[in-house]
Structure 1
Amino acid sequence: MVTHRLHSPSGKMVWFMEGMCLLPTFLVIWSSSTFIVSYIIALLRRDVDVILPYISDTGATPPESCVFGFMSTITAFTAFATMYAEYKFVKRLHERTGSVSPHLNKASFGVGVISCVGMCFVATFQETTVMAVHDFGAAMFFVFGVTYTVLQSVISYRSHPYGSSKCICHFRAFLSVLAFLAVFPTIFCAVTVGTSKLHWNSGDKDYTLHIVSAACEWITTFSFVFFFLTYIQEFQQFTLRVTVNLMEYS
């Protein structure tokens, strides 16, 4: 159940404790740490190159693969929880204002869930061990993740001014367009290169395609991260409450 938050007396409440704000805040910090920490570990162990490795490359070799898998799984479940909270919030807005189609809201949540499942595949199946499953999960994550941001941007404009500010709506639209434009070279160049290796030299065949694909992958991924950052304003406006109904047994 979604309920609107009450303003704390004297404004003493810390901002990230207002409403459900802690959820997207944790997601942004944790997901960013997931990619950065695994990259640093892989770099210190010289398992990847300094310049633009694939994100998956930074989690391909132990021990960073263990860190990457653990943190990515938590990221996926936190993203699911955040998407569910946003879905319930938009659903409540529709009940009060009729501004957003329930079908659009359900479609957005559905593709978001598929994207989270794709991330679980990426976290569980490393590219150097089960490449086919890893690539399938990565495609799910990116394609459905981009679709989620686009649908949520549409929802933001339709729910304005009850949800986010106009500025946030524009910023979400910018991030969704950026992710949409970056995801195509990410997939196309990766498929064209075909091979998966952790170390590249500038003289290698398809080196340029690799760099373009890796750069666009990082852009797409952090477009997702910053997109969830825009949820903070909305999540300060409501709380979720679980209602337990016990069955009567004779």
Structure 2
Amino acid sequence: MSYIYLVPVAVFLLFQITFLGTYIAAVLQGHVVPTVPYISDDGTYSPESCVFGQLINIGSVLLGITIYIRYRQIQQLYSHHPDLGSLLLRYNKIAVWFGMASCLGISIVGNFQETNVRIVHFTGAFCCFGCGTVYFWLQALITYLVYPIAGSKLYAHIRLGMAIACTILFILIAITGVMSHILFKGDNPRQWYPSDGGWYFHVVSSISEWIMATIFCFYILSFTDEFRDVRLEHPELTFISYSITL
């Protein structure tokens, strides 16, 4: 029996535990106020930053494995059903690159705190949410293309809905996030109070980020049923002998 379907489950659980665990730790340490901080704010200061970075790295690797399994699944599906069309292969190849870029962005966000290297942190966040949203659109399209041979129309509709939601939230995060930082007049954005300015933009932006991250996790979890029919075997290892002529 193959247990490949447990990989997206592990991704879902790990990220949820990471987000909630570091939030609780950051609040208890007094590093953030308990009024909806950004997810990355919870992992800004040690010791929670150490745990946050480590778990995010593990999660990024597991997410990359999930994306690769999905890529190979569609490749194999096309090899048995070439009538699905060459567009499926093209979308699949584009999707895996955007998916891997999103994984890299997640790792960057977890390891480059906003307080230390802001431009790198924001670049990672853009890759995480931006490339991840594109990946979701492509996977929704792929799910429609492979139906009814694989998957279901219900999952296609759900993934399309989540892709639309992520697009709206991504735009909302970008606009309100910029506005909140422009209007912020306080000393520490991790200790953001209504009197510091830009409060409502900050709340909208941070809540949108939490919702979007949760949708990301559920989107990956939606691959579970389709992965039940997948089995990965150990790759073949070939030794190449070189002859040296003196």
Q: Return the TM-score normalized by structure 2.
A: 0.90
**In the alignment, what sits opposite 1:13?**
none
CA contact (8 A) 1:19 1:237 kept: no
**In the alignment, what sits opposite 2:223?**
231
- Pair 1:136-2:123 in alignment: yes
Deviations 1:183-207 (A, max 9, x none): 1111121122236710122233111
**In the alignment, what sits opposite 2:190?**
198
Cα 1:121–1:248, aligned 2, differ >3 Å: closer, same or farther?
Answer: closer
CA contact (8 A) 2:105 2:124 kept: yes
**Structure 2 counterparts to residues 101-112 of structure 1, below 5 A:** 101-112=88-99
Unaligned runs of 5+ in 1: 1-7, 9-17
Deviates more, 1:185-194 or 1:104-113: 185-194
Question: 1:51 & 1:172 partners in 2: Cα distance?
Answer: 30
Query: Could you tell me which amino acid in structure 2 is paired with residue 220 of structure 1?
Result: M
Counterpart secondary structure, 2:207:
helix
- Pair 1:246-2:246 in alignment: no
Counterpart secondary structure, 1:180:
helix
Question: 1:124 & 1:54 partners in 2: Cα distance?
Answer: 15
**In the alignment, what sits opposite 1:123?**
110
Question: 1:144 & 1:86 partners in 2: Cα distance?
Answer: 16
Deviations 1:156-181 (A, max 9, x none): 11111233222222111111111111
Question: 1:130 & 1:105 partners in 2: Cα distance?
Answer: 34
**In the alignment, what sits opposite 1:175?**
162
**Structure 2 counterparts to residues 1-250 of structure 1, below 5 A:** 18-98=2-82, 99=84, 101-194=88-181, 197-249=189-241
Question: 2:149 & 2:48 partners in 1: Cα distance?
Answer: 43
**In the alignment, what sits opposite 1:15?**
none
Higher relative CO (Cα under 8 Å, sequence separation at least 6) belongs to 1
CA contact (8 A) 2:88 2:145 kept: no
Deviates more, 1:240-249 or 1:66-75: 240-249
Counterpart secondary structure, 1:239:
coil
Question: 1:83 & 1:148 partners in 2: Cα distance?
Answer: 10
Identify the structure with the greater helix proportion.
2
Counterpart secondary structure, 1:52:
coil
Q: Return the TM-score normalized by structure 1.
A: 0.89
Query: Could you tell me which amino acid in structure 2 is paired with residue 188 of structure 1?
Result: I
Deviations 1:193-226 (A, max 9, x none): 2367101222331111111110111111111100
Question: 1:206 & 1:152 partners in 2: Cα distance?
Answer: 36
Query: Could you tell me which amino acid in structure 1 is paired with residue 131 of structure 2?
Result: F
- Aligned length in residues: 234
Q: CA deviation at 1:44?
A: 1.2
Unaligned runs of 5+ in 2: none
Counterpart secondary structure, 1:53:
coil
Deviations 1:54-84 (A, max 9, x none): 0011101111111110011111111100000
Question: 1:246 & 1:139 partners in 2: Cα distance?
Answer: 40
The runs of at least 4 consecutive aligned structure 1 residues that moved more than 4 Å come to none
Query: Could you tell me which amino acid in structure 1 is paired with residue 56 of structure 2?
Result: S
Deviations 1:85-141 (A, max 9, x none): 000001111111232621110000000111111111111111111111111111111
